[in-house]
Structure 1
Amino acid sequence: MAAQKSIRKTALQYGAIFSLLYFLLIFFSHTFVIDQLSNESRKHRLGKEVESLRAIIETESPTSSEISSMVDRFQLLLEHALIVEMKDGSVITSNNVDQKKLRMVSGKPAGFIKIRRGADDLLGLKQDAPIDSSLSSITILEMENGLAEQSLGAHLNLLTASALLLVVLLTLVATTTYLALKPIGRIKEDLQRLQSGKQSRLNPHVPDEFSSLIKQLNNLLELASRRLERHRRLNSDLSHMVKTSISANLAILSDTNSLSPSRDDVGFMISNLRDLNRSLSYRMSKADISGRQMGQICLPIQITSNVVTVMEKIFPDKHFRISTDLPNDFSWPMERQDLSELLGNLLENGGKWCQTTVDISISLAASALTIKVADDGSGISPESAEKVMNRGCRLDETVNGFGLGLSIVYEILEDNFGQMEIGSSKTGGAEITVTLPFPE
């Protein structure tokens, strides 16, 4: 795929092309209007001249020779060609009318006429006389080339004015393009400062057309920063935890004063390795969190059904009930593994703490997906609810994973820009509500 041109160059290129087309459109449309106005002016002027000549002839009732003299005077005065047709069939013409012109005019109907004669095109008006008049018609002709010379100046003025308008229009287009694309230059500078480490995020105060893009980029930067911090923290925890466990076990196994480890030593090592295994599993679950991924979707209803199937096998004496108005093929922009891990931890905690039933409610409102998991257990106090959000905290050491599971849920929600609330259910147990907003 060919590389895209600069937006500024593209805008100027198309602006110049469209401005030129606009200039040509104005020029030709004005030319058409000028011709129309000129023709109307000619009709009006020639009509006045015909009416004046006809009024004189009808008022004075001159003879044919007198009419011929009048026609010659009109020719000298107006520099037009005149043709007067009488009802008795006689025709009186000015001196500048030859037989060819006469034949052309005689075949024309009354009205505005145009006679093509090469460079000497004629324009004129032919008007029929009233029925009670001795006249049949009066025609006045004028040379079009003379009129064209008069209108040439108007066309040149129009061309000059249109050219000036084009320059002004191009200047306005260039100024508008510069001002409209100026924010892109600031975004480019932001990116350069971001690459050089002078700032950690892009400035969100950009035009509306770029706000979604900048927000997505900042979300990706935030997600990458969280992942990096999480992996550094996990590496540090794993390093310390594994070293401590290995050192404790080696200290027992390398004790040369006894032939074999005692029962208590073996029990300690087993417990130590179990704790290590559980901690590794927990921290690897955190490491697998993907966070919001563009282009990834999942099917929440199907995933919930699959997780419930697994939980029913783990807790065969507990009931898991799903309540939703969404269809099975409803999709949501979220990585499948994250949602599966989130639901798995919520339902596992519900299964451990409930008496008999865990209710799962899934709904969509205000461009956000809401998942509620309520149980009929002993519930969680507000103080404990705050503690359980902390990394690695557990309310009851006899129920493995309660705090750890919700800690993982909390981190999944953080990376997907969601929220979690812990309250009481209608049956007195715990109700955990997670809200996942739709990506902007």
Structure 2
Amino acid sequence: MRLTLSNSLQSRLLLGAGAWSVLALIITGLLLAYLMREQLESQVQQRLAADMTQLLGKVEMSADERLTIQRDLSDPLYQKIYSGSYWQLSRDGVVVLRSRSLWDQDLPPQAAQPSDESGFAYLGGPQSQKLLSLQRQVTLPRVPGRLSVQITRDLAEIDSAMRQFNLVLASGLGILALGLIVASFLQVRLGLRPLRRMRRGLAEIRQGEATGLTGRYPVEVQPLVEDLNGVLSDNAALIERARSRAGNLAHALKTPLSVLANEARERQRAGDPVGDRLDVEIRNMRTQLDWHLAHARVAAARRPGMSTSVDFVADRLVRTLTKLYPENRIDRHGTTGLKFAGELQDLEQMLGNLLDNACKWATRQVDLRVADNASGILICVEDDGPGLSDELKVHALQRGKRLDEKSPGDGLGLSIVKELAELYRGELRLGDAPAGGLAVTLVLPAVNAERR
């Protein structure tokens, strides 16, 4: 999980947005709950202050100098036993009057308040109630001494209201959090869309469908796109120049080699042994020259954007070889529409060598089968000739080794096909055909191989 988050820009953005959204909503919820409770308690405090004023207006001294209340307070809760709404009057620490709701209980005193000041406090009351208490030290007309007046309200109603409020608040903030997370996901997906489009464009370049990134991108990404296109263009130009120079060098060497070859043949006809040595060395030089030219072509062909139709090359080679070997029948089978991620000339050389060898050794039938799988393009050439033993199969893939010294050639056929295929990250396999001849399977990279 750690690797996924650290390597995924989308995951990091979503995690950051989600974390901040949840944190902000939690803080908002706590603040709203605090403000709501403060508001409710403020209303209770105002009600307590009003009830105390009403109580003090009803206190009188009787003829026998006892404190009395003219009539009950307007709120009936002060008459209901253990309702949580209580009042009591004290003088010198002794309770002289209490509300009917207190029955025979006394309220615990608050901390002593300075003269002419009142304050609120939380107290524990009868029946384990949690009370909000207002206490005041007062002096009344016609009442000797100072009185301590204490009046309370049960906080159970506030607690119940807060539970309901918190439930609604949590539900609302939860829905809001879910909406914010969905909105963040959509925002991140939309914001990263240009990067996904760039990724698809790079895949098309790698698979040979394009030579550069096209289209307009956001201003934050467009400089990167332009730099990538510039690098691709410079790389293609550099490879093309190197390839052109290698070709020019090869053509420049071919003329002197032809002159030397003619000289070698003249000396051979004259019986000069030097002619045979010259002929061997000229063949080696041509072999090396063709070999390095093939490698140079592969290096150039592996640049982004290369694509060759297998159908086009196969059909053209079948038509040509049918004319050269009219005694053989060449049949093609398998998948059509495949594209080789490389250069036309390399595919012609590889497939041409395989078909030419098959036609040389076949009795009457050559089969060309084309298919595709996860490895890429599979091209299999089978003939009904004599085939090869396991030892000769290994010998046939060695550079410069020829199975038939009487036939013309330089021994590059299967060996160069093998190494060209390996340069394209492919392979060449030799096996036995159902008709008894040789089956050669060529595996090459395909355009869009990763998407199939």
TM-score scaled by length of structure 1? 0.49
TM-score scaled by length of structure 2? 0.47
